[in-house]
Amino acid sequence: MKPGQILYARQGGQHVLRLVGDVRQNAMGGYHSAAELAAFIAGLLGQGEVGPLIVDLAELEYIDSTHLGLLAQIAVGMQAKGEAPPVIAAPNERISRVLHEMCLDRLFTFCDSSSSSVPPGQPLPEHRADETEGARVVIEAHRALAALSRENATRFQDVIALLEEQAKPEGEETAK
């Protein structure tokens, strides 16, 4: 499996986010890849009009639930701004099945072709997250997935509860 990379390119008014290889936080240095993508999303959505966004998955081999949730956050954020739905380009059959199972087909338009006419792009700017910020990014990503369907809410409720428990400062009691 190729090492995970998240690349960004802009050509004209079109944004291309390219996910390559093994995109999961454990394979990409812990919280940092998720924090980098979360910071990119915040910056992208924080500007005025975003314009067309393509998420090119032609070279994606694996993606974890955290990064899936971050993709959901992009689409929900664009929808809230009144933007056209982002496009997921060229997922392989296995990745496509995962995206549909997680209900991302409700947020994205899917197309079979890659954005290969756009230059490969550059890695996202480095964003070193501390444990608190990293935990917040992971929790919010899973909440975004859980909000997409009843099945996802059930699937991720225990994960979210565990992550929230682990993110509590030491000595803080759980309300019963």
Q: What contacts 167, CB < 8 A, 6 or more positions away?
A: 132, 135, 136, 139
pLDDT, tens digit, for every residue of 78-105? 999 999 999 999 889 999 999 999 999 9
Cα(5)–Cα(11) distance, integer angstroms: 19
pLDDT, tens digit, for every residue of 107-141? 999 998 776 677 789 999 888 888 888 899 999 99
Domain boundaries, the chain: 5-167
Q: Which CATH architecture has domain 5-167?
A: 2-Layer Sandwich (3.30)
